[in-house]
Structure 1
């Protein structure tokens, strides 16, 4: 049968599309319709069988299964860092060009160190609701941004981007498979959730292992 799956565009491009194709290789009778949106899709209204959500705030009315941890990095291009003042502390962010994943001019970067969560206010000179656009702006030398490792891991490994202040980790988020009910759940959906949980590896996802 067909499964309708919703996911953010960046995670769908970087991780989910390949996973779904691999699942189909094992279960060729299953077809997919994938909706990409950087918003929380209404599963009932849009007839979604499964949504992959990256968040720490889940709807308690929905069933959720943890798939992985989404870690992020504060990063910029080597050229940008060479041309601007050193970032010796997070307070120095105020003197840098900061890009943000939001349609707001004032934003907050959220970090964790030694188990403590804290926020640093920044003035975003560039903001967008699309992770791919944010990545492209950073690669163009636009400034600093917090980007997920599932999307920029290869940029970091190839030296196109450099991690800044690694002692301070941006707040990690959960990657969850979300669906409406366990009752009358199609076998294909149950198999898919199990497959994604195994593939994405929980606390040590493949994109963080290189």
Structure 2
């Protein structure tokens, strides 16, 4: 049995990650590929509890937040992602390790090596096969988030904060071009879906044949 592929969606608030993750899963299923969609923080009962805690109570120390995310990710990888991949199922996650690199690393200034060491214990060897970074100007992302309804504490951050986050994701895309594909999320939903499918087809489907 071939091992499944691991795809992650990353990007700022309002970029359309959840929508595109679901659309990609539907297209993969139509080709006969077994797939699950999950999210971070979340994906497991423990992860969902951590998500609720973090969204409700902002930790004073960024290290506290980082370790909460790391604990949720360890549970996510061990109980959901790795077993699915080993079973030949493809996994699509709405956010994963790159969000930690950007939010806790780029934004809050935690040492990249500290974050990388946590990844070695919580993610390795199950790093994403493909990461789709949906890029959108910060102002447009905030506007979309406002249209969704209630803003999370992340959505409600200042525009400068969202610009910093966008820079962080662009830096990752530039640093890891073999894993990451940058997609213009300002296009229509259908156009973004097409770009996502082209990236998955060229990077993973051709390899799987």
TM-score range, shorter chain: 0.3 to 0.5
- Structure with more helix by fraction: 2
Larger radius of gyration: 1
Relative to the length of structure 1, the TM-score reads 0.32
Give the structure-2-normalised TM-score: 0.32
